[in-house]
Amino acid sequence: DADRLYANWLGVGFAADLKTGKLLWRTDKFADIGTNAQNFANYGRATDRYETTAAGDRVLFVRLPLSKLNEHQAPYSLTCHAAGDGKRQWTSETGALSNWSFVGQPVIVDNTVYATAHPRAGQELSLLAIALDGGKLDWSLLLGTPQSSSNYRGEAQQPIPTLLHHSGILYVLTNNGALLAVSRAGRRIDWALATEGPPVSGEQQIFWGYPMPEKLDL
């Protein structure tokens, strides 16, 4: 925003002053990244799922908490923090949102957070509408089941959707073969366009040698 830079470094969310570069706050200790570095590799964690969204006087992070890196099928959480001091206001790690694993960067429209997520033990992708104040789930809409690949541990690697809002329509590019138009007012899919999936790069690979799909943008 106009005053601060927000970042999500492997699950450690933090803010820095734009003028001075001074660290203002952080959600966790930076040293914990080094302590858990081996777990990122051992458990094949998808670091491209870490996202940040500035929302006025608040900031949202999608991340896998460092304490859960070695937990089987641990869900990627969504947390909301005060932009000024970093105080956590709500989290999906408990309550009604705790079974959802978030994927993709959320968008905020009229004090509502729109985010894509799948069940902790499933692959069905849904669009969630969450109150920015308090984190209450208002409604959800099933979008479909994407075709996912697996990492070397056999866990599903979820395609990362791209969200865009325009004139009351939420466009969801699944990055797996479809573009969906969702009506905010009607809470329904108005239309769907089948597309080719994103190209697979032959150069960008993780160190086990599995090809990594490129992400498309709207």
pTM, two decimal places: 0.86
Mean pLDDT, residues 93-108: 95
Which stretch of 11-15, 56-60, 65-69, 91-95 has the lowest confidence by average pLDDT? Answer: 65-69
Tokens of 84: 């000024």
Which stretch of 80-89, 96-105, 126-135, 189-198 has the lowest confidence by average pLDDT? Answer: 189-198
Strand partners, 126: 117, 142
Amino acid identity, position 145:
T
pLDDT > 60? residue 78: yes
| Strands annotated E in 56-150 | 58-63, 77-82, 88-91, 100-102, 107-109, 112-119, 125-131, 137-144, 149-150
Chain segment 171-211, per-residue pLDDT in tens: 999 887 889 999 999 999 999 998 776 655 444 444 444 44
Let me know: does 181 contact 123? Beta carbons within 8 Å.
no
Q: What is the pLDDT of residue 73?
A: 80
